[in-house]
Amino acid sequence: MDPAATATITEFAIVIAGFSGLVLALGQGGGQSDAVAEFRIITMLLYAFSAAFGSMIPTIVQSFTLDIEVWEISCFWLAMILATNVATTILLIRRLTHQERSELKRWMMALVLAGNTTFIIWIFLNLIGFVPGTPTAPFISALIWQLVLSSLLFVRLVLNRPKESPINE
């Protein structure tokens, strides 16, 4: 697979991040606390930019190494990005009060934490040869997973907009 083939993921991730700016510009809140809205925005941007920058890793690695190592090295660095996402999400959740945490949906947090952890494990098992297949499968799947997460968070932001928002007029 050509490392430049991930360009579509980059473009889609940037679109999600751009639309989040639109949501912010038109107003946010909708009965949720500012801390919860901030949490959703930060995590949505975190996953969107992880997909965007993660999809550029193979092109960057290819410019420095032999073609045979591109996907293995890219997978390693994507796993590091996913681990950072999990840690950042946990730290952001811990910053919220008990009341604010109760506004978060448990199923969404389960998707975020379990999904990213599963991809980290899949990538490392693939890299050590325990799981057969090429490293492109977990790499591309993990990037798409980041897009799914950021898209879900984007939809939640839009659906939780305040009643006095210009979007509703």
The arithmetic mean of pLDDT across residues 90-119, rounded, is 89
Domain tally, the chain: 1
Whether the Cβ atoms of residue 112 and residue 43 lie closer than 8 Å to each other: yes
Whether the Cβ atoms of residue 40 and residue 150 lie closer than 8 Å to each other: no
For the chain, what is the mean pLDDT? 80
Q: Which of 4-8, 84-88, 135-139 has the highest mean pLDDT?
A: 84-88
Q: What is the CATH number of the domain that holds 32?
A: 1.20.120
Q: Which residues of 45-63 are buried (b: 16+ CB within 10 A; e: fewer)?
A: bbbbbbbbebbbbbbebbe
User: Is 100 or 67 the better-scoring residue by pLDDT?
Assistant: 100
Domain that holds residue 49: 3-168
Q: Record the pTM.
A: 0.79
Distance from C-alpha of 42 to C-alpha of 26, rounded to nearest angstrom? 17
User: For residue 169, what pLDDT band results from cuts at 50, 70 and 90?
Assistant: very low
Distance from C-alpha of 61 to C-alpha of 115, rounded to nearest angstrom? 25
Give the model's pLDDT for residue 156. 81
